[in-house]
Amino acid sequence: MRVGIIDLGTNSVRFDVQQIGAAGKVRLLHREKLMVRLGQGVFVDGKLNREATERTIHALESFRITAEAFNCERLISFGTSALREASDSQAFLDKIRELTSIDLKVISGKEEAALIAEGILANEPEAKSAGKANKRFALIDIGGGSTEISIIEDQKVIKSESFQFGTARLQQIFLKRCPPNSESIDQLRAHLRGHLVSQFTRERWGKVDRIIGSSGTIRSLCKLLSKKNPQKKSPQKKYYELKDLSELVDRFSTMTTTDLLGIAGMESKRVDMILAGAILLEECLMALKAKKFMATEFSLRDGILTEQLKLYKSAHKSSLTLHLPDLADKGKKLGANESHFTHVRETAERLFDELRLVHRVKPFWRPYLSAAAILHDIGEPISPTNHEFHSGYIVRNAGFPMLTNWETELIALLCINHRGGKVVFGELKSLTEESKKKPKTEPTPTFKELTSICIRLTALLRLADAFDRSHKSGIKIKKVLRRKGEITLTVSADHPLDLEILRIEQKKGLFKDLFGLDIQVVQARKRIPKSL
């Protein structure tokens, strides 16, 4: 299988074509990077720059043509900080889809941090050796608009966060001149420390032994340090010292653009943001009390590829499985009741697993039911009346990551249909027909298959939601028994079931019509302890 991966960042857009062969072996077929500067002015104006968007669209169209030339079976494209914050990003995403047929998704900062960590931990030899030696270390990715930091212990992420500062953002807000005045540098440092030190202290991130840094900024700084002090780097360890970086910062702080361009190893495309990046890395090192750092070639794209490999090795299950925690986080932010949607999700998944011989829906579709269970009530804060339609609208327009249009529509329809009534199929037909015109994208199920899946998952979701009608989350399914003509669900509960049983009676109709089986709920008897 050949996979194309597009990473649209604040400064650059990167494109890889990877061949996934037998036993999950990977071979890089093509790599390309263009500095489109999409984040130009975004962090000051709040909107995308017209010239920057035109550069980006030209780059994406070029990548699409290359992906077709390589016969890519999947083209995965995602955007990060600049698109998360620009007020007109949705209009730009629609334009990209219209002009290039690329369905670009915007990932959250937390998901970006998780994918970066996954890519580095799976591929970077130094990260693997540090883990084997039980060394506590940090991963830092300095982008144009955000910086992702993760603390690693025993090869596991124990702390992770995406901070809203990157080279382009800091340069636009603080370092507007070259060289900047000392006051603006002091303001920049105070801003960084105010966020880093306070959060690290409050959440007890602790100190680390070393930092492994991804992104072009950190690689450029390591390159500059190697040119300045070639003897400072051990060929075996590849690490540089904090004190050497601090010397570099002091040197850069008084140099003009012309002076900077004259430094051996300086990249002209980074010259205006190199000081902001150096100060940011220095402050990260000091906040984590790390004395040394190194650069890795692995980054966000490698996390996406690692994720694809997992799917490939697990019989091509939906990538949605890997993003359910992020959906839950977004659901909370959108105002959904966490205890309720967690209970509905657990109940829906239990029903899916226990009744698989009844509904006969393949395991591939289980994550879509889970996602709908998480998101089915996110429209309630807008209006409790007809909130299912508000939920569907939010799902359709929230730009959830890594989902194709038909996947988004399926989840939206499950939310819309969860309360009752005739099942509607929205835009599924037009989206499946549209996808037929794009043979190089992920294969799309037929409209007939999707409608069958939609109605069956809706039947399960309605039941699961009915089990927590009171939002007390106190009912657990203990046993599922199929008898002739009915399904008996034995449950435990910490409160009377009158309201839930009434709601189940109201919402079991679709299940009964589809599968010809009635639903009966029986409350398990509490055991009375034997007297001594």
Statement: residue 451 has pLDDT above 60: yes
Distance between CA atoms of residues 6 and 145, nearest Å: 18
Same domain assignment for residues 441 and 504: yes
Distance between CA atoms of residues 518 and 113, nearest Å: 46
Contacts of 52 (CB under 8 A, 6+ apart): 36, 37, 38, 39, 40, 41
Q: Report which secondary-structure segment, H or E, holds 481.
A: strand 475-483
Distance between CA atoms of residues 237 and 488, nearest Å: 63
Same domain assignment for residues 268 and 156: yes
Domain CATH code at residue 356: 1.10.3210.10
Q: Report which secondary-structure segment, H or E, holds 60.
A: helix 50-69
Structure confidence at residue 135 (pLDDT):
83
Distance between CA atoms of residues 474 and 495, nearest Å: 7
Q: Which of 300, 333, 351 is the last residue of a domain?
A: 300
Same domain assignment for residues 80 and 115: no
Calculate Rg over the CA atoms of the chain: 26
What 3-state class would DSSP assign to 479?
A: strand
Calculate the dihedral angle through the C-alpha atoms of 489, 492, 493, 494, rounding to the nearest 10 degrees: 180
Q: Which of 90, 106, 122 is the last residue of a domain?
A: 106
What 3-state class would DSSP assign to 442?
A: coil
Q: What is the pLDDT of residues 23-64, one digit of tens each?
A: 678 899 999 999 999 999 999 899 999 999 999 999 999 999
> SS3 for 61-110, per residue?
HHHHHHHHHCCCCEEEEEECHHHHHCCCHHHHHHHHHHHHCCCCEECCHH
What 3-state class would DSSP assign to 477?
A: strand
Distance between CA atoms of residues 227 and 239, nearest Å: 14
Same domain assignment for residues 132 and 270: yes
CB contact at 8 A, 486 and 519: yes
Band (124; pLDDT cuts 50, 70, 90): very high
Domain that holds residue 93: 2-106
CB contact at 8 A, 349 and 332: no
Distance between CA atoms of residues 440 and 4, nearest Å: 10
Residue 182 lies in a domain: yes
Distance between CA atoms of residues 37 and 104, nearest Å: 17
481: left (phi over 0), alpha (psi -120 to 50) or beta: beta
Average pLDDT rounded to a whole number, residues 427-438:
73
CB contact at 8 A, 341 and 378: no
Same domain assignment for residues 333 and 480: yes
Distance between CA atoms of residues 166 and 259, nearest Å: 23
Domain CATH code at residue 82: 3.30.420.40
Count Cα atoms within 13 angstroms, Cβ side, for 253: 17
Length of the chain as a residue count: 532
Kindly state the greatest CA–CA separation across the chain. Answer: 90
Statement: residue 467 has pLDDT above 50: yes
Same domain assignment for residues 184 and 56: no
Count Cα atoms within 13 angstroms, Cβ side, for 346: 13
Same domain assignment for residues 31 and 152: no
How many distinct structural domains can be found in the chain?
A: 3
Distance between CA atoms of residues 6 and 25, nearest Å: 20
Structure confidence at residue 132 (pLDDT):
72
Structure confidence at residue 441 (pLDDT):
45
* Alpha helices, H only, 124-241: 125-132, 167-173, 182-202, 216-228
Statement: residue 531 has pLDDT above 70: no
Same domain assignment for residues 280 and 349: no
Same domain assignment for residues 253 and 122: yes
Structure confidence at residue 504 (pLDDT):
87
Residue 387 lies in a domain: yes
Q: Which of 87, 106, 125 is the last residue of a domain?
A: 106
Q: What is the pLDDT of residues 337-384, one digit of tens each?
A: 888 999 999 999 999 999 999 999 998 899 999 999 999 999 988 888
Statement: residue 199 has pLDDT above 80: yes
Residue 43 lies in a domain: yes
Structure confidence at residue 352 (pLDDT):
94
Same domain assignment for residues 117 and 232: yes
Enter the pTM of the model. 0.70
Q: What is the CB neighbour count within 10 angstroms for residue 164?
A: 14
Query: Which of 501, 465, 312 lies closest to 387 in space, CA to CA?
Result: 465
Residue 308 lies in a domain: no
Structure confidence at residue 526 (pLDDT):
60
